[in-house]
Each structure stands twice: as C-alpha cells, then as structure tokens.
Amino acid sequence: MSKKVAFITGAGQGIGQSIAERLSNDGFAVALVGRHKEKTDKVADKINQNGGQAISIAADVADRDEVFAAVNQTVDELGDLNVVVNNAGVAPTTPIDEVTPDQLQKVTMINTGGVVWGIQAAHAAMKKLGHGGKIINATSQAGEVGNPNLTVYGSTKFAIRGITQTTAKELAVDDITVNAYAPGIVITPMMEDIAHEVGKNAGKDDEWGMQTFAKDITLGRVSKPEDVSAVVSFLAGPDSDYVTGQTITVDGGMVFH
Ligand SMILES: NC(=O)C1=CN([C@@H]2O[C@H](COP(=O)(O)OP(=O)(O)OC[C@H]3O[C@@H](n4cnc5c(N)ncnc54)[C@H](O)[C@@H]3O)[C@@H](O)[C@H]2O)C=CC1
Ligand SMILES: CC(=O)C(C)=O
C-alpha cells in the first residue's frame, strides 16, 4: 500500500523539522517546504537515509502562487496529499511603540497569509484528489493570551485560531478537519532570538530574556520540539478523526482553559 502524504512548511529547522521527522516515523511520505532550500534538503536527506521518503521544496508561504505550486509538486512527486501542516512563521520582537507598517504587513503576510494560502491550496488539491484530509495550523500560547513585546506576532497567532475555527466549519463538507497546535516556550532558533532581543531591550542577558517567558511553566521546564510534534502526530493520525476546529495547547501548563 502506498504511503499517506504530509506537507509541512518551515520544515528546515525547529518545530517543523521535528514534525517532519515524527510524521515520517509515523509512516507518512513527507514534503518539506521552506524559504531556504539548503535547510529542507538537509532534513530530507536525513529522513531518506533513515529509510523514510522525503522531498524538499523551496517556497515562501507568504506567496500564494508559490504555496499552490509547492502543493501541486507534492501531489505530482509523492502521488497524494493527506495532511498539510502550516507551521512556518516568524516572530520579531515588537514593543508596541516600535511597530511599523512594513513590519505589520510582512509578518501578517507570512504568519496569517501563509496559513490562509496553505488551507486554500490543501482544499483545492484534496478536492481534486477526491478525498478528505487533515489541515493543522501553528498558533501559540501567545495566540491565547497577550504576551508583552509580541503585539504583531500575537495578533497573527490569535487570527490563526479564528481561521482554524472558520475553515473547520467550511471544509467539513469535504471531509477535511482543521485544527491547530499552540506551543509554549520551545527551544528553537525562533525562541532563542526572542529571548536575546527581550534580554537586550532590558539590558540583561539571553537567559534573563528566556526566563521572562519560562518562569511560570507549570511543569517546570521549557519545551523540546518533540513535545509539539507528538501532538501534531495525534492531529495527523486517525485517533483525531472526530476532532475539528480545535486548538490543542502544548505548553507545559502556561495557559489553562
Ligand atoms: N519556538 C517557540 O517557542 C514557539 C513557536 N511557535 C510556532 O511554531 C512554528 C515553528 O516555530 P519554530 O520552529 O520555533 O521557528 P524557527 O524560526 O526555528 O523555524 C521556522 C522555520 O520557518 C521558516 N520560514 C519562516 N518564514 C517563512 C516563509 N515566509 N516561507 C517559508 N518558510 C518560512 C524558517 O526559514 C524556519 O526554517 C511557528 O509558526 C511559530 O510561530 C509557537 C509557539 C512557541
Ligand atoms: C514564540 C512564541 O510563540 C511564544 C513566546 O509563545
């Protein structure tokens, strides 16, 4: 039997890399998408050397045509499309008084736009293939509660929860579920950069910056990417078939619902 196919954006490092590796271990053929192809190439090579099946595609998720082309290339090369993980994102530190129109537009087009184009392209491809599937979007604990210094980023992550609910209702008729995952403080290049900027703005070091986010985690530790990819594995697999429109928080107990 041929493998199910998963498409993952921002798969060259951090959480996206972990999701690609986990879904490959779960038995999916995986398409790794990112702006920097040398990074997705490296992760795809590792997966292929370990007995998985991976391809690497360059695309900027803010560009609708590039996202559609990447989805079409995935179907052409891997033969199907069952799961789309809209994981790519950027998180500049944005104290409110420093937000610029250019920054607001760019971050919104990547984080929110990338999710919208990913859902559109997934819907079009799945309809053409004649079957349903699962769409999974990256939000954040910063999309559930306000985080100081992250006004622009937080606005996109709140929006992604709304888009997840709206499109879950719209796409159910085509047997597509739409869910989201909300990580907390995950040690990746993104989080290291935020900790550095927040520390620097306060005249402190990176560890101080990290602790401003990490000090209230109920489980007493920051997160590894694998904590998040385990939840995405559930959302991509059959055990979540009766779940749609939900955001699953995987933050060690920062936000309680
Ligand atoms: N690290 C954390 O603590 C948290 C991360 N998240 C979310 O999880 C997702 C992954 O985050 P990390 O792995 O930490 O980030 P990261 O910065 O380490 O990796 C993100 C990847 O996305 C790619 N990317 C960025 N813009 C892109 C674009 N326009 N088109 C294509 N690819 C692009 C980058 O090149 C990079 O490979 C993001 O959506 C982020 O907002 C959510 C909560 C916490
Ligand atoms: C980067 C992020 O999503 C945080 C700090 O929650």
Asked if the structure places residue 244 within a domain, the reply is yes
Place of tokens 């997840």: 164
Instruction: Quote the pLDDT of residue 216.
Output: 87
Residues 6+ apart with CB under 8 A from 26: 233, 236, 237
Residues with a catalytic annotation lie at 153
Ligand nearest, relative to CA of residue 198 = 2
Asked if the structure places residue 99 within a domain, the reply is yes
Whole-Å CA distances, 68 to 36, 120, 124, 202: 18, 8, 9, 42
189-232 pLDDT, tens per residue? 999 999 999 999 999 999 999 999 999 899 999 999 999 999 99
Asked if the structure places residue 224 within a domain, the reply is yes
Whether residue 160 has its Cβ less than 6 Å from ligand 2 = no
Let me know: does 115 contact 86? Beta carbons within 8 Å. yes
CA 229 to CA 120: how far, in whole Å?
A: 23
Annotated ligand binding at 188? The verdict is yes
We report the CATH number of the domain holding residue 171 as: 3.40.50.720
Instruction: Quote the pLDDT of residue 31.
Output: 99
Whether residue 212 has its Cβ less than 6 Å from ligand 2 = no
**Residue from 191, 197, 210, 247 whose mutation best tests the ligand 2 pocket (most atoms within 8 A of CB):** 191
Whether residue 191 has its Cβ less than 6 Å from ligand 2 = yes
Which residue CA neighbors atom 3 of ligand 2 most closely?
Answer: 140
Annotated ligand binding at 157? The verdict is yes
Low-confidence ranges of the chain (pLDDT < 50): none
Place of tokens 């490092």: 13
Burial 12-40 (b: 16+ CB within 10 A, else e): bbbbbbbbbbbbbebebbbbbbbbebebb
Asked if the structure places residue 193 within a domain, the reply is no
Asked if the structure places residue 175 within a domain, the reply is yes
Asked if the structure places residue 130 within a domain, the reply is yes
Which residue CA neighbors atom 11 of ligand 1 most closely?
Answer: 15
Whether residue 252 has its Cβ less than 6 Å from ligand 1 = no
* φ, ψ dihedrals at 35, nearest 5°: -75, -30
Let me know: does 121 contact 9? Beta carbons within 8 Å. no
Annotated ligand binding at 251? The verdict is no
Let me know: does 61 contact 107? Beta carbons within 8 Å. no
Whether residue 91 has its Cβ less than 6 Å from ligand 2 = yes
Asked if the structure places residue 200 within a domain, the reply is no
Domain count, the chain: 1
Annotated ligand binding at 87? The verdict is yes
Q: And the tokens for 122?
A: 């997934």
Asked if the structure places residue 215 within a domain, the reply is no
The residue among 78, 32, 81 whose CA lies nearest residue 58 is 32
CA 53 to CA 59: how far, in whole Å?
A: 20
Domain hosting residue 65, numbered range: 5-185+220-250
DSSP helix/strand/coil, 144: coil
Which residue CA neighbors atom 41 of ligand 1 most closely?
Answer: 89
Please state the ipTM of this predicted complex: 0.99
